[in-house]
Amino acid sequence: MPTPVIETLGLSKVYQGSVGGVPVLSHVDLTIEYGEVVALRGPSGSGKSTLLNILGCLDRPSRGRYVLGGSDVSGLTREEQAWVRLHYIGFVFQSFHLLAHATALENVTLPLHYAGVPRGRADETARDLLARVGLSHRGSHFPAQLSGGERQRVAIARALTARPPLLLADEPTGALDTKTGAEIMRLLLDLHKERGTSIILVTHDPVVADYADRQIFLRDGKVVDTEEAQVGARA
């Protein structure tokens, strides 16, 4: 058996609130193979973003193990997490999270600077990526001068600078109209085919989820089977 890109074992997350611990994820066991496209679904508040943030090494589990590409990353320090993110993980958010005072090209170049890539090569890589997402002509524009779909294209280009094996996307089409959302999904799937990138995509939208190879449903912080979750969503 090849090593999966992601394996979690008994992953749990408890937030410490004023009234004691609030359990948000309970015993999540997941295996995701390299090259899979997985849609993560579930009602609002079911823990989708919390799980994605842990998988993206933006947060840490309270209990359980998270093994990324064969290495246990459950207990990394913040510095170690940052290093893993820089080299292994691309992240795309619903609200794009671009730097407002940086141009499209600068936004894409930034992670390459952090990774110590020399300026000339970073600029070249960023220009190639902007061209790949159809934005060659927008490199010197600031986010406020771009449409929502264009901003998400910039964010996707930025997420792919390190050629990460894993791309995590938290409702990437959630702020876009249906047609633009479909274009962004096509772009993500084309990039997945070209690069073999594994994608985990949080979405409420069953149409968007249909693009995935497989769907995982969360309810009250637990992974549930499809049918049970759909009954829950309808109720």
Ligand X SMILES: Nc1ncnc2c1ncn2[C@@H]1O[C@H](COP(=O)(O)OP(=O)(O)O)[C@@H](O)[C@H]1O
Q: Which residues bind ligand X (CB under 6 A)?
A: 15, 17, 22, 24, 42, 44-50
Q: Which residue is nearest to Mg ion (CB)?
A: 49
Based on CB atoms, which residue is closest to ligand X, 13 or 153?
13
| In contact, 152 and 176? CB cutoff 8 Å | yes
Among candidate residues 135, 134, 148, the one with its CA nearest the CA of residue 177: 148
CA distance 32 to 40: 12
Which of ligand X, Mg ion, none sits in contact with 64, Cβ below 5 to 8 A by type?
Answer: none
| Closest separation in Å from C-beta 68 to Mg ion | 21
Answer for the pair 56, 91: CB distance below 8 angstroms, yes or no: yes
Q: How far is the CB of 46 from Mg ion (least distance, A)?
A: 9
Site for Mg ion in 139-198 (CB under 5 A): none
HSE (side-chain half, CA atoms, 13 Å) at 194:
12
N residues, the chain: 235
Helix (H, G, I), strand (E, B) or coil at 95: coil
Shortest separation between residue 14's beta carbon and ligand X, angstroms: 9
Q: What is the dihedral of CA 143, 144, 147, 150, to 10 degrees?
A: -10
The nearest distance, CB 41 to ligand X, in angstroms, is 9
Q: Which does 15 bind (CB under 5 to 8 A by kind): ligand X, Mg ion, none?
A: ligand X
The reply to whether 49 sits near Mg ion by the rule CB under 5 A is: yes
Size of interface with Mg ion, in residues (CB under 5 A): 2
- The partner in contact with residue 109, picked from ligand X, Mg ion, none with C-beta cut-offs of 5 to 8 angstroms by kind, is none
Of the listed pieces 47-55, 82-90, 147-155, 220-228, which binds Mg ion according to CB under 5 A? 47-55
Looking at the Cβ atoms of 49 and 161, the one nearer to Mg ion is 49
**214, 39 Cβ separation under 8 angstroms:** yes
To the nearest whole angstrom, how small is the minimum distance from the Cβ of residue 1 to ligand X?
30
Task: Give the residue among 30, 28, 26, 24 at the shortest CA–CA distance from 7.
Answer: 30
Q: How far is the CB of 15 from ligand X (least distance, A)?
A: 3
- Two structure tokens written together for 84: 């893993």
CB count within 10 Å of CB 77 equals: 9
Sites of contact with Mg ion (CB under 5 A): 48-49
